[in-house]
Amino acid sequence: MPEYRAHFDFDIRFANGGALSGTGFRLDLPGPEASSDEVARLLIGHLGLALVDEVDLRGLRIVEEPHRGSRGIEMTDAESPASGRRIVDLSHVVRAGLVTYPGLPAPTITPHLTREDSRAKYAPGTEFAMDVITMIGNTGTYLDSPFHRYAEGPDLAGLDLSTLVGLRAEVLHLEDAWDASRRGIRPEILADRDVRGAAVLLHTGWDRHFGTPAYGVGAPFLTGEGAQWLIDAGAVLVGIDSVNIDDTESGGERPAHSLLLGAGVHVVEHLANLGELPPRGTRFTAAPPAVEGFGTFPVRAFAELPG
């Protein structure tokens, strides 16, 4: 179903004195027919304002545009997804020769038992293929456990499945919230969301470069301050559709990894298709195999949209 947003400038005056103005503001709408009074009420609710006397909207335009997560915007039954659960695959496909992270080796896939050879081992008409994959754990869409950063942290086999499966997802659509001069995702961008117990998925749109040289240059990342805010706010998992959750051009510093994994917050990198998800209302799963003594491994990450 199409989604709509209002574009406008505003002036707000308060009954107890003072005023607030904004330009180029954008706000999610429940539908395309919202009046200026309805937009004004939604604006007040989104900003969490009290004792508002008057709201003056200027240059109001309603455009078809994906929602970004404005507070107080709930879908009606007619706008909710069609009956029946829908699954959105958020993983990149792993294949032989795939370069996920520039400088790391690509996976190789070789046969252990070919179908032709297997015919001599099984009954007529029965055949199997058994293959060997050799790859670094940092391949495709993968999850970092605390062991990836800290020798004493839980490895893949030590993770609690309840922190990996069916998590409430808070999706932050940030494609238009950063530029090449300010690539870091800061706490201020995150602060209007209730992320306690949630998987926080940072949609930057950078996955459009996956598998190309552009993927590793100038990528968006989560700042250390943003990571600390998510920890303090109670996030369980943080995912991003970029080359790394940290700034790989910072000279080796990894504050987001260090803070998140030190606090037991899982990290999922190289997500895909986050633009297909609404800001709220989905469940996220990213469970790796239970491998002892291993810190990072590909996952089949996906989101469930309710019927």
CATH number reported for the structural domain that contains residue 210 in this entry? 3.50.30.50
Same domain, 261 and 187: yes
Question: Which residues pair with residue 56 across a beta bridge?
Answer: 11
Residue 46 maps to a domain: yes
Residue 98 maps to a domain: no
Which sign, positive or negative, has the C-alpha torsion 227, 229, 231, 235? negative
Residue 193 maps to a domain: yes
| Count of other CB atoms within 10 angstroms of residue 289 | 10
Listed residues 76, 95, 118: the one ending a domain:
76
Q: Please state the domain count of the chain.
A: 2
Same domain, 161 and 278: yes
Q: Is the pLDDT of residue 297 over 80?
A: yes
Contacts of residue 39, Cβ cutoff 8 Å, sequence gap at least 6: 6, 8, 27, 29, 57, 60
Rounded alpha-carbon distances, angstroms, from residue 51 to 45, 77, 182: 12, 32, 35
Residue 134 maps to a domain: no
Residue 101 maps to a domain: no
Same domain, 13 and 159: no
Q: What is the pTM of this model?
A: 0.80
Residue 103 maps to a domain: no
Same domain, 277 and 171: yes
Q: Is the pLDDT of residue 78 over 70?
A: no
**Residue-number span of the structural domain to which 8 is assigned:** 4-76
186 within 8 A of 226, measured Cβ to Cβ? yes
Listed residues 76, 102, 131: the one ending a domain:
76
110 within 8 A of 132, measured Cβ to Cβ? yes
Average pLDDT over residues 212-229: 95
Rounded alpha-carbon distances, angstroms, from residue 177 to 98, 205, 248, 249: 30, 11, 20, 20
Rounded alpha-carbon distances, angstroms, from residue 137 to 33, 142, 165, 250: 49, 7, 20, 23
Residue 126 maps to a domain: no
Same domain, 207 and 62: no
Same domain, 55 and 164: no
Give the pLDDT confidence of 93-134 residue by residue, as tens digits. 999 999 999 999 999 999 999 999 999 999 999 999 999 999
Same domain, 164 and 43: no
Give the pLDDT confidence of 245-291 residue by residue, as tens digits. 999 998 889 999 999 999 999 999 999 999 999 999 999 999 999 99
Same domain, 150 and 71: no
Type of residue at 281: G
Listed residues 52, 76, 100: the one ending a domain:
76
Same domain, 172 and 24: no
Residue 91 maps to a domain: no
Same domain, 173 and 66: no
- Tokens for 143? 């999850």
* Angle at which helices 255-262 and 224-233 cross, to 10°: 20
pLDDT of residue 76: 41
Rounded alpha-carbon distances, angstroms, from residue 228 to 102, 224, 307: 27, 6, 35
Same domain, 67 and 146: no
Same domain, 202 and 64: no
Average pLDDT over residues 22-33: 90
Task: Choose among 172, 178, 220, 175: nearest CA to 192.
Answer: 172
pLDDT of residue 85: 79
